[in-house]
């Protein structure tokens, strides 16, 4: 099979496909149920997938729910994207030891496993591309990110339902998977439980060739397209992006920022769940003897006071200025900086904000009262 | 190279349960290194040896609840080059600061057979309310790794890596599923990091052991608790534990009580 030909895969066939990918030497990372949510973890096969689970999402709430059709990808998005696999939350950059009146530096030599992402959605694939710009395609390459990212195999899924806080249609990032995948699945639940699989790369074709598959007939292809269309027309949120940079730049003193800041706890959850946020902090530590020192990198956020600390204090000392920085950077100045929005419309910052702040509502409120002093 | 004179360490106790001092002793693997790097001059929980001041580093556990303690902390300050407070009692007044919301005289008359022998202040207050403090290490009890970090930082004259952002940051670094968003009230968003998000890692809401974080918006989080069904009593209870007297928690618990009275 080649190009955009599509084949039909049974549930058992999907199991065989996952094993075939494993046999190629990949470690499978995919969705599984843990602690009341669907998370991304190492899986060994289809038995670990969240069969018959879905979720309800709204601003500040997430509830796992049962569904009666046994769907394996019948949820939208969990709390995690794939970010922690490549841009790891915490890592040692190097260790230095005192030796014979001088010191030696032991750099870290990452030997990460080759990963296969199972069930990646279009918005999250766009987010990986956004992070690649920062870590791989800028002036400097992050060696750890590069080593982990290298050769990742992607089994994408076209979303069968939109989450309550999804707005990929507004951000033009989904729900149909169009690039950066090796194989893409659409789960069909009418009649026999099956998948339409589409090939996105040479590698994908090679793995698929190991299974003797029937090409998908016109009817199955149409059903698959309808699934995605239905998802596209049932987005939980809408986000008007027309002229967004100018809109926000000319409304930096809009009273809506005060309203948001009055609610915001500056807890940083929105940035930590965001699949595109890339900020980290670097810490040096010494042991008691002073004979070894280590440098560590860990996720940071524009919501912490340390993030904008220069000698004498934090530049953004008020919650309002940190909150505004996050939102304006994410959806507006990111475009000036990287040529793309920092938001892929996954809705995680809305769902996982403990006080339910919704950036689509916040920007809409500013748009509705553009340039006015009182909303 | 001549051996550098070891800095003198003193560990002091005020009104407290000794749990934070035990965190020092709990540093089993590093204790010998600490004793090698520092001259332990005063540490009643560990040794009866008592060397006179001045001290290079004083770790202070406990709050001030008597006029005698208020005097004693001034003396400790005078004798100490650096003074670091450890734990919720020393940094916020501790659980015993619940007295600050009530009439202590009444407590004393109910609890003691001869109340006239009891001399106590009406409030339990943080050490920093009495003397200047060089660094406050939070927690009930303190985290032993953080304690070691503070001691190491002091020894090498660098700033301790002790973050003052929310517990949520630690929670996300661990990859936890947020319990607040999945239905359990959690103080993590307004609580100072340090525990490594211990409770949320076991699907419990944060109890706020480390006190308010750097920029706490208690009112907003409590509003979210109330919207999710918590009563006034519930929210006053969660705010009034080990850090009840920390201003960001105290103000909100008082406002909640006041709101309740006014609505009656
Ligand atoms: S917007 Fe929400 S998630 Fe983000 S820092 Fe504020 S309260 Fe936390
Ligand atoms: S800003 Fe929010 S909706 Fe946009 S990509 Fe980040 S987490 Fe998703
Ligand atoms: S569980 Fe608590 S500490 Fe963890 S992210 Fe949620 S609100 Fe924050």
Helices (H), A176-306: 202-209, 218-232, 244-249, 256-263, 269-273
Claim to verify: residue A271 and residue A308 sit in the same structural domain: yes
Band of residue A2 on the pLDDT scale cut at 50, 70, 90 = very low
Band of residue A1 on the pLDDT scale cut at 50, 70, 90 = very low
Claim to verify: residue B97 and residue B24 sit in the same structural domain: yes
- Proximal ligand: closest to the CA of B187: 3
CA atoms of A218 and A234, how far apart (whole Å) = 25
Which residues 82-141 on chain A approach chain B with CB closer than 8 angstroms? Answer: 84, 89-90
- ipTM rounded to 2 decimals: 0.96
CA atoms of A131 and A340, how far apart (whole Å) = 11
| A355 vs B: CB within 8 A | yes
Residue B135 lies in a domain: yes
Residue A32 lies in a domain: yes
Among B122, B155, B188, identify where a domain stops.
Answer: B155
The 8-class DSSP code of residue A330 comes to I
Claim to verify: residue B151 and residue B172 sit in the same structural domain: no
Q: For the segment B129-144, what is each residue's pLDDT rounded down to a tens digit? A: 999 999 999 999 999 9
Claim to verify: residue B176 and residue B256 sit in the same structural domain: yes
Claim to verify: residue A48 and residue A78 sit in the same structural domain: yes
pLDDT of residue A5: 78
Residues A111, A100: contact at Cβ < 8 Å?
A: no
Claim to verify: residue A205 and residue A345 sit in the same structural domain: no
Instruction: Give me the residue label for tokens 């202590």.
Output: B104
Q: For the segment A329-349, what is each residue's pLDDT rounded down to a tens digit? A: 999 999 999 999 999 999 999
Band of residue A373 on the pLDDT scale cut at 50, 70, 90 = low
Q: State which H helix or E strand residue B55 sits in.
A: strand B55-61
Ligand 1 centre from A267 Cα, in Å? 5
- B182/A62 touch (CB, cutoff 8 Å), yes or no: yes
Task: Single out the residue of A307, A349, A351 nearest to residue A327, CA to CA.
Answer: A349
Domain tally for chain A?
2
Look at residue A175 and tell me whether its pLDDT is greater than 50: yes
Residue in A127, A276, A278 to alter for ligand 2 test, most ligand atoms within 8 A of Cβ: A276
| A293 vs B: CB within 8 A | no
- B156/A290 touch (CB, cutoff 8 Å), yes or no: yes
Q: For the segment A224-261, what is each residue's pLDDT rounded down to a tens digit? A: 999 999 999 999 999 999 999 999 999 999 999 999 99
CB atoms within 10 A of CB B161: 16
Claim to verify: residue B174 and residue B116 sit in the same structural domain: no
Average pLDDT over residues A118-135: 97
Claim to verify: residue A160 and residue A137 sit in the same structural domain: yes
Whether pTM exceeds 0.90: yes
Residue A290 lies in a domain: no
Residue B3 lies in a domain: no
Residue A238 lies in a domain: no
pLDDT of residue A165: 98
Residue A295 lies in a domain: no
Band of residue A4 on the pLDDT scale cut at 50, 70, 90 = low
| Domain span holding position A147 | 6-90+108-232
Residue B1 lies in a domain: no
Residue A325 lies in a domain: yes
CA atoms of B37 and B32, how far apart (whole Å) = 9
pLDDT of residue B3: 57
Among A232, A261, A288, identify where a domain stops.
Answer: A232
- The backbone torsions φ and ψ at residue A22, rounded to the nearest 5 degrees and listed phi first, read -60, -40
Residue in A77, A80, A260, A345 to alter for ligand 2 test, most ligand atoms within 8 A of Cβ: A345
Q: For the segment B39-54, what is each residue's pLDDT rounded down to a tens digit? A: 999 999 988 989 998 9
Claim to verify: residue B146 and residue B172 sit in the same structural domain: no
* C-beta A165 within 6 A of ligand 1: no
Claim to verify: residue B44 and residue B151 sit in the same structural domain: yes
pLDDT of residue B253: 98
Claim to verify: residue A205 and residue A331 sit in the same structural domain: no
User: Searching chain B, which residue's CA lies closest to the CA of residue A55?
Assistant: B182
Claim to verify: residue B150 and residue B185 sit in the same structural domain: no
Claim to verify: residue A224 and residue A176 sit in the same structural domain: yes
Claim to verify: residue B99 and residue B201 sit in the same structural domain: no
pLDDT of residue B2: 45
To the nearest whole angstrom, how far is the Cα of A4 from the nearest Cα of chain B? Answer: 36
* C-beta B208 within 6 A of ligand 3: no
Query: How many CB pairs lie under 8 A apart between chains A and B?
Result: 133
Look at residue A3 and tell me whether its pLDDT is greater than 50: no
- A18 CB contacts (<8 Å, ≥6 apart)? A28, A43, A45, A46, A118, A155
pLDDT of residue B4: 67
Residues of chain B with confidence (pLDDT) below 50: 1-2
Residue A239 lies in a domain: no
- B30/A288 touch (CB, cutoff 8 Å), yes or no: yes
pLDDT of residue A115: 98
Claim to verify: residue B31 and residue B151 sit in the same structural domain: yes
Claim to verify: residue A215 and residue A313 sit in the same structural domain: no
Domain tally for chain B?
2
Residue in B179, B210, B221 to alter for ligand 3 test, most ligand atoms within 8 A of Cβ: B179
Q: What is the CA radius of gyration of chain B?
A: 20
Claim to verify: residue B19 and residue B132 sit in the same structural domain: yes
- B169/A301 touch (CB, cutoff 8 Å), yes or no: yes
Among B155, B188, B213, identify where a domain stops.
Answer: B155
Percent of residues, chain A, with pLDDT higher than 90: 93
Claim to verify: residue B135 and residue B34 sit in the same structural domain: yes
Claim to verify: residue B112 and residue B89 sit in the same structural domain: yes
| Domain span holding position B127 | 8-155
pLDDT of residue A372: 64
CATH number of domain containing B80:
3.40.50.700
């Amino acid at each position: 099979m080649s190009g955009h030909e599509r084949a039909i895969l049974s549930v058992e066939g999907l199991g065989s496909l996952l094993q075939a990918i494993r046999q190629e030497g990949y470690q499978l990372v995919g969705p599984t149920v843990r602690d009341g949510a669907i998370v991304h973890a190492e899986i060994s096969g289809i038995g670990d997938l969240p069969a018959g689970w879905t979720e309800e999402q709204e601003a500040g709430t997430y509830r796992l729910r049962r569904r009666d059709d046994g769907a394996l990808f019948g949820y939208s998005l969990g709390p995690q994207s794939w970010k922690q696999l490549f841009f790891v939350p915490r890592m040692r950059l190097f260790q230095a030891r005192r030796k014979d009146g001088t010191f030696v530096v032991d750099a870290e030599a990452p030997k990460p496993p080759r990963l296969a992402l199972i069930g990646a959605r279009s918005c999250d694939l766009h987010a990986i591309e956004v992070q690649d710009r920062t870590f791989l395609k800028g002036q400097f390459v992050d060696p750890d990110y590069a080593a982990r990212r290298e050769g990742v195999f992607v089994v994408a899924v076209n979303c069968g339902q939109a989450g309550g806080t999804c707005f990929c249609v507004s951000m033009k990032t989904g729900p149909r998977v169009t690039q950066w995948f090796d194989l893409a699945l659409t789960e069909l639940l009418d009649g026999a439980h099956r998948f339409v699989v589409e090939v996105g790369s040479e590698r994908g074709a090679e793995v698929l060739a190991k299974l003797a598959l029937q090409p998908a007939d016109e009817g199955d292809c149409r059903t698959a397209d309808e699934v995605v269309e239905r998802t596209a027309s049932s987005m939980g949120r809408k986000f008007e992006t027309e002229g967004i940079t100018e809109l926000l730049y000319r409304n930096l003193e809009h009273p809506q920022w005060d309203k948001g800041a009055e609610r915001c706890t500056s807890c940083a959850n929105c940035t930590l769940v965001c699949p595109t946020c890339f900020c980290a902090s670097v810490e040096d530590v010494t042991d008691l003897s002073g004979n070894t020192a280590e440098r560590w990198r860990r996720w940071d956020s524009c919501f912490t006071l340390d993030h904008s600390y220069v000698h004498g204090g934090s530049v953004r000392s008020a919650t309002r200025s940190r909150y505004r920085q996050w939102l304006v950077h994410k959806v507006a100045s990111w475009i000036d900086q990287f040529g793309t929005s920092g938001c892929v419309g996954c809705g995680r910052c809305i769902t996982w904000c403990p006080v339910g702040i919704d950036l689509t509502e916040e920007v809409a409120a500013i748009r509705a009262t553009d340039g006015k002093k009182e909303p | 190279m001549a051996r550098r004179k070891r800095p003198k360490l003193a560990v002091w106790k005020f009104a407290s349960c000794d749990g934070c001092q035990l965190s020092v002793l709990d540093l089993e693997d590093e204790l010998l290194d600490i004793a090698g790097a520092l001259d332990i001059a005063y540490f009643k929980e560990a040794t009866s040896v008592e060397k006179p001041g001045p001290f290079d580093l004083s770790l202070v556990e406990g709050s001030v609840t008597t006029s005698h303690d208020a005097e004693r902390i001034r003396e400790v300050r005078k004798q100490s080059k650096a003074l670091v407070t450890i734990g919720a009692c020393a940094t916020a007044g501790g659980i015993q600061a619940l007295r600050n919301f009530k009439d202590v005289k009444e407590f004393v008359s109910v609890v003691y057979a001869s109340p006239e022998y009891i001399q106590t202040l009406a409030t339990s207050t943080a050490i920093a309310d009495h003397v200047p403090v060089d660094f406050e290490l939070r927690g009930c009890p303190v985290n032993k790794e953080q304690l070691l970090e503070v001691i190491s930082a002091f020894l090498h004259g660098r700033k301790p890596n002790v973050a003052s952002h929310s517990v949520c940051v630690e929670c996300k670094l661990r990859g936890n599923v947020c319990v607040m968003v999945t239905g359990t009230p959690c103080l993590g968003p307004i609580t100072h990091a340090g525990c490594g998000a211990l409770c949320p890692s076991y699907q419990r809401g944060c109890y706020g052991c480390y006190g308010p974080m750097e920029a706490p918006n208690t009112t907003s989080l409590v509003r979210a608790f109330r919207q999710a069904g918590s009563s006034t009593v519930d929210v006053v209870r969660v705010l009034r534990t080990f850090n009840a007297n920390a201003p960001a928690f105290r103000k909100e618990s008082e406002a909640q009580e006041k709101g309740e009275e006014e609505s009656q």
